[in-house]
Amino acid sequence: MVSANPIRLTNLKFIIPFILFWLILFFTTYQLFNDLLSYWLFSLLGVIGAIFANSTGAGGGVIFIPMFAQLNFTEQQSIATSFAIQCFGMTAGAVTWSHHYYSQKRDLRLWQGYKRIISVTSVSAIISLIGVFAFHISSPTSLHISFSWFSLLLGLFIILTVYLLKPHRERSQIYLFDYIALIFIGFFGGALTAWLSVGVGELLVIYLILRRFDINMAVSSAVVVSAISVWGAIGLVHQDVYWQVLIFAGPSAVLGGIFAKTLVTHMSATRLKLFFGLWLLMTGGLGIA
């Protein structure tokens, strides 16, 4: 088994490049310093969104999109900016979870399908994302309505899994049926992600939990797939990114992405699910109302 220390915020190998990158991003934005500082509160949004995304497998857009709607962003700005922030937070989470896999879980039976699940779903999602943007396939409804219903259903599912899924022997083997389902999740989830900035990670973690795979493996797989998906899409929508928000929310999302794995492994999963599930129900319900 590979032995390695977990990624820590106190590690200078992380701190120095992180600060340098943020400073470069900050000073290459052609805007007055005082104007930029008015966006500092988005740092908190980035941390919260990344913690939620990387501890549940749901994309950070679940947090970002409702906030952007309140700020009167266009749909294109909302989607693009959410993608850009997730490129920071989901990548940090993906690296942290992958490190967790290679250092502690690589030889475990329950994690033997980890890389195959990620590979199959990611390839399908990227193909779907590119197809939606290349052929300009529009969402069936507006971003606000689609996202509200998605949040409501996701919150309901999270709460139901807390009370309805009983302890059971966890699955490790991937069957042909699972591969077909993963391809479908990638294609359908990729389209949802193109329209809502979230989708493929949520559908993947729901499927894996219902199929009774290890819950940490399910969350880790969803985080990595989401990270790959947003990187596959950002090049197609970067022109609509609201850079003033990204300057603060992006780097802070890195901190949330790294912290999320620690939160999951040390905090009650039930309480975490209930908190975010209720938040999603409230957000989705208010949006529909």
pLDDT at 287: 72
Residue 4 lies in a domain: no
Residue 3 lies in a domain: no
Whether the pLDDT of residue 129 is over 50: the answer is yes
pLDDT at 211: 85
Domain count, the chain: 1
pLDDT at 27: 65
Q: Residue 42: count other Cβ atoms within 10 Å of its Cβ.
A: 25
Residue 197 lies in a domain: yes
Q: Residue 272: count other Cβ atoms within 10 Å of its Cβ.
A: 19
Residue 147 lies in a domain: yes
pLDDT at 261: 67
Q: Between the CA atoms of 180, 150, 133 and 39, what dihedral angle is there, to the nearest 10 degrees?
A: -130
Domain hosting residue 97, numbered range: 22-288
Structure confidence by residue, pLDDT tens digits, 196-236: 888 898 889 888 888 888 888 988 999 999 999 999 999 88
pTM above 0.85, yes or no: no
Does residue 127 or residue 26 have the better pLDDT? 127
Structure confidence by residue, pLDDT tens digits, 167-205: 566 777 899 999 999 999 999 999 999 998 888 988 898
Residue 63 lies in a domain: yes
Whether the pLDDT of residue 122 is over 90: the answer is yes
Residue 264 lies in a domain: yes
Residue 37 lies in a domain: yes
Residue 14 lies in a domain: no
Angstrom distance (rounded) from CA 182 to CA 173: 14
**280 to 44, 283, 285: CA distances (angstroms):** 18, 5, 8
